[in-house]
Amino acid sequence: MSDKFSEYKDFDSTNFFLFLIAWRKPLVIISAIALLASVIFSAPFFITPKYKSTVIMYPTSTSSVSKALLSDTYGGKEDILEFGEDKQTEQMLQILNSNKIRDRIVSKYDLFAHYNIGAESKYKYTRLFKEYESNIKFRRTEYNAVKIAVNDKDPQVAADIANDIADLLDSIKIGMQRERAIKGFLIVETEYLQLKQEIQMMEDSLTVLRGLGVHDYESQAEMINQQLAIEVAKNNQSGIKALGKKLDVLAKYGGPYVSLRDALEHEKKQLSLLKTKYEEAKVDAEEELPQKFVVSSAYKAEKKSYPIRWLIVLVSTLAAFMFTVLVIIIIENINKSQLVSIKKKS
């Protein structure tokens, strides 16, 4: 067959078809071998089949309980029922890819043993993390949701890991937020209790001043001066003397009374504002809200997702066929060149 290809000077589609017919036996044999080999080597005892489970979820638009339910400051911007947007989706993906979630999954499912990674392996963590990343993936969907996809040789384990990761998102995110919320609450609580104590001291001081006869400086001073004018007009010395003592008390304690009273009014306004912050901070530190809307939970897959045997067989067979054609063409061209060279010499 060394000169078969040399018969076709113009290698167009018709000649190529004739070429395939001329070399049909080796092409069929090699393609059949490739098909059989791909069927054998894609079998479960060569490639471990894997099952895929997925969770689809949306982030929430707000993480603060107080902003969503109690505060009037934010108006309608914080809606407990609203889905999150790009910012919240990116935050969710970042948390899902964190080592906090990965380490908990590794520990719970003993992934070293599950992935057949020996405890004495030199690069066991590198191998583990590579295996983890190849089997567990997170991505944003076209509808701005987040998809958790887990592939595993055990379909139930794949579903359990996917659902556990979704659950861990809440505990990890709430844990990080609560740590900050508790510190914030302690700061507000200290300021709130201190201000309450200062107000109580002011009120105690005003009580003492009232015991000394200063109840309402402005109205008392006005009334005493009016009465004093009357007593002076009557030339009532005893009345003038009694009113003079009252004026002396007002003169001595009126200034501190007015200062305390005005300061107390201001501090009570501040206490009212601080109390609102205190209550909001307390709710954020003690209460929690889910951080996601789960659209679809993972379930045990009934069919494997990897490998796709028909695709492996098809690609392998076509590749073998095309490679064989290419090799035959190269060999025929070499033979043709050698024949031309021989003819020229003769």
Q: Tally the domains of the chain.
A: 2
Residue 163 lies in a domain: yes
297: tokens are 């939970």
Same domain, 113 and 158: yes
* Runs of H (alpha helix) within the chain: 13-22, 24-41, 65-69, 86-96, 99-109, 111-114, 124-135, 155-211, 217-234, 237-286, 309-345
Same domain, 126 and 215: no
Same domain, 171 and 189: no
Same domain, 168 and 101: yes
Give the residue from 286, 313, 341 where a domain finishes: 286
For residue 42, give the DSSP letter: T
Q: According to the model, what pLDDT value does residue 76 have?
A: 46
Q: According to the model, what pLDDT value does residue 86 have?
A: 84
Which structural domain, as residue segments, surrounds residue 239? 184-286
Residue 84 lies in a domain: yes
pLDDT along the chain (346 residues), means of 10: 46 67 82 82 70 92 68 55 82 93 94 88 90 94 92 93 94 87 90 91 85 76 72 74 75 80 88 87 81 90 74 83 85 75 66
Nearest to 134 by CA among 155, 118, 119, 151: 151
Same domain, 281 and 170: no
Beta bridge partners, 55, equal 148
Euclidean distance between CA atoms 165 and 160, whole angstroms: 9
Q: At what angle do helices 155-211 and 86-96 cross, to 10 degrees?
A: 110
Same domain, 62 and 126: yes
Q: According to the model, what pLDDT value does residue 45 have?
A: 65
For residue 63, give the DSSP letter: -
CB atoms within 10 A of CB 250: 20
Q: According to the model, what pLDDT value does residue 6 have?
A: 46
Give the residue from 286, 314, 337 where a domain finishes: 286
Residue 6 lies in a domain: no
Residue 315 lies in a domain: no
Residue 304 lies in a domain: no
Same domain, 206 and 256: yes
| 3-class state of residue 73 by DSSP | coil
Same domain, 117 and 176: yes
Give the residue from 296, 317, 338 where a domain finishes: 296
Q: According to the model, what pLDDT value does residue 226 have?
A: 76
CB atoms within 10 A of CB 316: 19
Burial class (CB in 10 A: 0-12, 13-18, 19+), 256: middle
Same domain, 216 and 206: yes
Contact 99, 146 (CB under 8 A): no
Residue 211 lies in a domain: yes
| Sheet hosting strand 292-296, strand order edge to edge | 136-140, 146-152, 51-59, 292-296
319: tokens are 């590749």
Q: According to the model, what pLDDT value does residue 8 have?
A: 46
Same domain, 202 and 162: no
Look up the CATH number of the domain holding residue 108.
Answer: 3.30.70.1130
Q: According to the model, what pLDDT value does residue 96 have?
A: 94
Same domain, 207 and 263: yes
Beta bridge partners, 50, equal 306
Residue 16 lies in a domain: no
pTM: 0.67
Nearest to 304 by CA among 151, 114, 111, 147: 151
Same domain, 262 and 151: no
| 3-class state of residue 137 by DSSP | strand
Residue 310 lies in a domain: no
